[in-house]
Amino acid sequence: MKYKEYQEKLKKLENEKKFDIDINAGEYWAVEKQEPNHKYVYNRFVDKVYYCFLRIFIFAFAPFLLFFCYKIKINGRKNLKLLKNTGGIVISNHAVLLDSLIIKQAVFKKIYFIGAEHNNKKGFGGYTIKILGFLPLSSQFSNQKNLDHAVSFYLSKKKLIHVAPEQAMWRGYKKLRPFKNGAFHYAVKNNVPIVPMIELFRPANTWDKILKRNFKVTLKILPPVYPNLSLNNKESIIDLKNRSRQKMIDSMNEYYGFETDVEKM
């Protein structure tokens, strides 16, 4: 659909306060139905070789793609240095089509992405995105357990795992929607920090519009936020979610100059 029509649908959902609705639901293709005991850890020799090849390709190609699509800027990389001796859960607002590629370029090392079931694709393409770090959510209990084990395994290896706590992607949306608890559950369970990142939008100029670029993107990396383990498990999850979200809201409010918290609308 055209970008204007897309934004009109976002506005309608915003007015109805349906902040986790996926506009593109039902339009996904090449989706592979998950079988029980889905594989989440790929550590064979051939998997590692293929990942190295893909990483070299992305290293060479991604900067050009991201510059052309978004004139991408990345701020706050110094905050990633605080994670030298630990893994972490990366969170961000979910508002850019290629945000997984942007975040991968920002951290510049292996990062895993937890995403919706419809991103579990068929064939070689599906295998490729899994090698790149995609971990699909599942409604099957056996796969939920396997995902939980995979998250703990990767965090114990000091890896980063990205979760989009808003759930659905709303392209170009400049406000912060309510968060689900999943990312913060993983952080508390594994005693690792949350690393908030914000996708900020710069206005398009005349040349951008000629190139069909609706906005330009700055990714801002904030300092890590750590769990308060003196609280009980449920309280710690909610506390970590609220503190992380507020830091993102404060930064977005400062950048845009208006209230970006939809919960205050």
Closest by CA position to 187, among listed 91, 95, 85: 91
Q: 């939920």: which residue's tokens?
A: 144
Q: Which tens digit of pLDDT belongs to each residue from 86-141?
A: 899 999 999 999 999 999 999 988 999 999 888 889 999 999 999 999 999 988 88
Answer yes or no: are the C-beta atoms of 219 and 71 closer than 8 Å: no
Which CATH class for the 45-264 domain?
Answer: alpha beta
- Mean per-residue pLDDT for 1-14? 91
What are the structural domain ranges in the chain? 45-264
Helices (H), the chain: 3-15, 45-70, 99-107, 123-131, 141-156, 182-190, 206-210, 233-256
Tens of pLDDT, residue by residue over 64-82, are 999 999 999 999 999 998 8
Dist CA 149 CA 100 (whole Å): 22
pLDDT at site 32 = 84
pTM: 0.94
Task: Give the mean pLDDT of the chain.
Answer: 94
Q: What is the pLDDT of residues 170-179, one digit of tens each?
A: 999 999 999 9
Task: Look up residue 24 and give its two tokens.
Answer: 């593109």
Rounded-to-10 torsion of CA 197, 78, 106, 156: -80
